[in-house]
Chain A
Amino acid sequence: MEPIMAIVTGCLYASAIYMMLRRSIVKLVIGLMLLSNAANLLIFTSAGMTRGAPPLIPLGAMQPDGVIADPLPQALILTAIVIAFGVLSFAVVLIHRAYNIIHTDNLDEMKDTDT
């Protein structure tokens, strides 16, 4: 399973970078979304993939029975997804407002603050 995940993660990173290098801001935001997903998958894969039960302790027991999955990477990914959701929703609002003000989605025409 790990090799497949590694390839998927690599493809996600690659396509994210490709999208970010395009000129349109919409594609830039799509690239950012892909990038955060790639990072999440990387955590998921590199933390070790176990086939196990959810890490919940049954009522009355002191420890879970059998093999359980490591809950921490899942918690990390969940947190990261939430954060990415918040940041990206901000980014969507930003490009929407930017488009209304600048009237273009071409990054090449947004060089006023560069020089």
Chain B
Amino acid sequence: MRAEVALPILVPLLFGALSLIAWRSNLMQRVLGIIGSVTLLICSIWLLMSVLDQGHVVMYMGGWMAPYGITLVADLLSAIMVVLTGMMAVAIAIYSLSSASPSHEKFGYYPLMHLLLAGVAGSFLTGDIFNLYVWFEVMLIASFALLILGGERAQMEGAIKYVTLNLLSSAIFLSAIGLLYGLVGTLNMADIAVKLSQTEHTGLVDVIAVMFMIAFGIKAAAFPLFFWLPASYHTGPVAVSALFAGLLTKVGVYALFRVFTLIFNQSPEFTHQLLLWGAAFTMLTGVLGAAAQFEFRRILSFHIVSQIGYMLLGLALFTPLALVGGVFYIMHHIIVKTNLFLISGIVHRLLGTYDLKQLGGVYKDRPYLSILFLIPALSLAGLPPLSGFFAKFIIIRAGIEAEAWVVTAIALIVGLLTLYSMIKIWAEVFWKPLPENHSTVDSNPSTKPSSLAFLYIPVVLLGACTLFIGLNGQPIYEIAEASAKQLLNPALYIEAVLGETP
């Protein structure tokens, strides 16, 4: 049996349960955190290998055949996402060795982290639309609890917005599932795709499609319902914000990719057009919001929103090249964004604040950290030869080929404004001298070198990944291309799940 498709879900759940039992011992939890995330990474690479080797990997949980039981399906996109999840898990687990405070660990930091990873992996791998909802909720509950670790005022305010908007999105998602089930009478995504292509295309299908779009759009922080993200992501502990920034919104993006290539592909002139404008406004509002900010993590949060726009643009153009770009962008973005948040955490550890106006002089004191920042920052802005350049290049080229001039122009302008934001951070945090009235916290015992090393290791590793994608993009591009091919040919997915082509 193909166990590799279920292991990325089972492994974090198992380690979550173990570290919940070991909650009295912080050391045990840390060890379990490292072992668990490394195991997850190994399992996910195994999954990617076998998907590359043999195409879709399918497992019918409990031996109940599709469309009756819950099916786990891994195509290339899911496998890529799971591998990225594993990479982020390892990075955050190492980072947490130094960044997590003992009180957070007592409160269940590691079990919640494992639960979150299980939810994320489950969302990527499930082939059942209701099961997707369940994994979304697993992920959300874990993320709610992680976000308020520490219990400061800003966290509470941020969490209330986060919880409300996400519950609203879940309710819309659930309503859409109900209507869809009433229409086609099945929950298996492949089966829904078959049934939906056979039923008459009525207005109700479009209504359901838009409901899914709104539900996933909220989760992905797309225009117009993205306000919860910049209001909440900068409030949590930094390792948590980094994990959220890298993975959580991308689950929404993944769900959009899955649903709008597999199920709702009948009327792209309506749905994908809507997505296109959503993507354009997402890019623009995100980057303009960032331009007005002077707090390290808030700038980065707004940039998540604007980058989500690029990924959606890849989906909305719906040409083979654009989908390649979208997938490539997701891969590049998860690594880069997590890395930037981790760096903001290091700066905070060194100088005790996230406020750009009170920061400064990091380049003078720690030139290596500055270079580590420049790699993801310039990659985010899309400068060659880093990973972001190729991601943006593919998408913009796809936009020009599809003759979507306005949106392509917006994408280019947003790239420029991203560069502006990154330069702003560079100038304020790294270049300008430290403001005189600033009291350094260098005497803080927690900044001793051994504890800082754990903060640097993941940053260096992720920076290396960015460089690798940039300098050796060909294999990554080929994987993205193969997965875009699979996305554009849903018959493969349906055949893998249901057995034969109907």
Contact = CB atoms under 8 A, between A and B. Distances in A.
A39 B160 contact: no
B160 A112 contact: no
A35 B177 contact: no
A101 B155 CA distance: 10
B151 A101 contact: yes
Given A110-B157, A110-B160, A83 B168 contact: no
B159 A28 contact: no
Interface in A39-55: 39-40, 42-48
B178 A47 contact: yes
B2 to A, nearest CB: 26
Contacts of B151: 97, 101
A43 B130 CA distance: 12
Contacts of B174: 36, 39-40, 42-43, 80
Contacts of B159: 94, 98
A104 to B, nearest CB: 11
Interface string B177-211: 11101100001000000000000000000000000
Contacts of B133: 80
Contact of B160 (A25, A42, A46, A72): A25
A113 B158 contact: yes
Nearest to A34: B171
A103 B157 CA distance: 12
Contacts of B168: 20, 32, 35
A113 B154 CA distance: 6
Given A32-B164, A76-B130, A91-B163, A83 B137 contact: yes
B156 A101 contact: yes
A94 B177 contact: no
Nearest to B178: A43
B355 to A, nearest CB: 14
A66 interface: no
B263 interface: no
Interface stretch (B26-34, B139-147, B458-466, B483-491): B139-147
Given A87-B140, A113-B231, A73 B163 contact: no
Q: Is the interface of B mostly helix, strand, loop or mixed?
A: helix
B167 interface: yes
A33 B149 CA distance: 24
B288 to A, nearest CB: 14
B232 interface: yes
A111 B179 CA distance: 36
B171 A94 contact: no
Interface residues of A, number: 38
Contacts of B160: 25, 28, 94-95, 98, 107, 110
A90 interface: yes
B175 interface: yes
B386 to A, nearest CB: 31
A18 B140 CA distance: 24
Contact of A35 (B167, B179, B182, B187): B167
A87 B159 CA distance: 13
A47 B171 contact: no
A42 B164 contact: no
Contacts of A97: 148, 151, 156
B232 A113 contact: yes
A41 to B, nearest CB: 9
A20 B167 CA distance: 11
B235 interface: yes
Interface string B268-302: 00000000000000000000000000000000000
Contacts of B154: 112-113
A114 B231 contact: yes
B164 A20 contact: yes
8 contacts: A46-B181, A76-B130, A76-B187, A87-B140, A94-B159, A97-B156, A107-B160, A110-B156
Interface of B: 130, 133-134, 137, 140-141, 144-145, 148, 151-154, 156-161, 163-164, 167-168, 170-171, 174-175, 177-179, 181-182, 187, 227, 231-232, 234-235
Given A35-B171, A101-B156, 7 more contacts: A32-B167, A36-B171, A36-B174, A39-B175, A87-B140, A87-B170, A113-B154
A-B pairs with the 9 shortest C-beta distances? A46-B182, A43-B178, A98-B156, A39-B174, A110-B157, A35-B171, A83-B137, A42-B178, A113-B231
